[in-house]
Amino acid sequence: MRPPTPGPSPARRPGSGYGGDDGLPVVMAIINRTPDSFYDRGATFALEDALERTDAAVAAGAGIIDIGGVKAGPGEHVGENEEIERVVPLISAAARRHPGVTVSVDTWRSGVAEAAISAGARLVNDTWAGHDPELVEVAGAHRAGYVCSHTGGATPRTRPHRVHYDDVVASVIAETTALAERAVACGVPEDLILIDPTHDFGKNTFHGLELLRRVDELVATGWPVLMALSNKDFIGETVGRPLERRVAGTLAATAWAAARGVAAFRVHEVGDTVDVLRMTAAIRGTVRPSTVIRGLA
């Protein structure tokens, strides 16, 4: 097994730039202003519906609200201006309504990131691994956070096809840590950088499982790890479940990753994820139970 690539000092508390005082990994809630998103099928495309979902996610314990305006997979073309029109009003409203929560923009376009940051976003979730090389520069210029992802060179909005890695974990570590170092050089604060192995992007189901099996190596880089596992295809293929029945598999993978030091999770089901993270942390002894009266009263 290839040893993990060294990163910055692991003395940094994972997720320190985003985590609260509860000792739990931070939950990033997914809010899609798209009519064709793979999971919610456009349920939050309307602005009022998106705001309602945002409020509910914050109430359920989300520390980051991740707002996207373009479906990740293949679909109808969405131009940059249209993407801006979709995300900016929600970002602006969310930042005003929830000043204690980090608002993130899910985009691969530097122009969208510029508009989003001006509207109140403080994190750029670049799920396409620096496809636009100016994106990280925009984040750095504004001292915003940045998610460093891995796609194996895939073009945005394409699905993997017969992808191969000699060692997928080594590839993820090399690509994400190199992007993290570039982000620091561009001005992104170190404690606002997350690395994301980016399950399903440029990867098959075996790759997704290998990344979870060897998650300790990702954590050992010293960079806080974000995992976006929620209802992904690799979970559906593993447990043999259609899209609407992948929550249990998602939560099992979440518990496994949380127990091994993953700092943040990008999710659809915020409340269920918070319960899993709290239970996992309580088993490890890093947080106390919420209430303790059984056998004591």
**Which residues 6+ apart lie within 8 Å of 71 measured at CB?**
32, 34, 36, 37, 38, 78, 157
The answer to whether 267 and 273 are in contact (CB under 8 A) is yes
SS3 of the chain: helix, strand, coil, percent, to 5: 40, 10, 45
Give the pLDDT of the chain (297 residues) as one tens digit per residue: 444 444 443 333 344 588 766 889 999 999 999 998 878 888 999 999 999 999 999 999 999 999 999 999 898 999 999 999 999 999 999 999 999 999 999 999 999 999 999 999 999 999 999 999 999 999 999 999 999 999 999 999 898 889 999 999 999 999 999 999 999 999 999 999 999 999 999 999 999 999 999 999 999 999 999 999 999 999 999 999 999 999 999 999 999 999 999 999 999 999 999 999 999 999 999 999 999 988 887
- The token pair that represents 98 in the structure block: 């929830």
The model carries a pTM of 0.93
Distance CA 23, CA 37 (A): 32
Q: For residues 289 and 285, give the distance between their C-alpha atoms in angstroms, rounded to a whole number.
A: 9
Q: Which helix H or strand E contains 64, and what residues bound it?
A: strand 64-68
Residue type, 286: T
* Type and span of the H or E element at 65: strand 64-68
CATH code, 26-284: 3.20.20.20
> Cβ–Cβ contacts within 10 Å for residue 243, how many?
13
- The dihedral sign for the CA sequence 59, 62, 68, 73: negative
Helix crossing, 270-284 with 247-259: angle to 10°?
A: 30
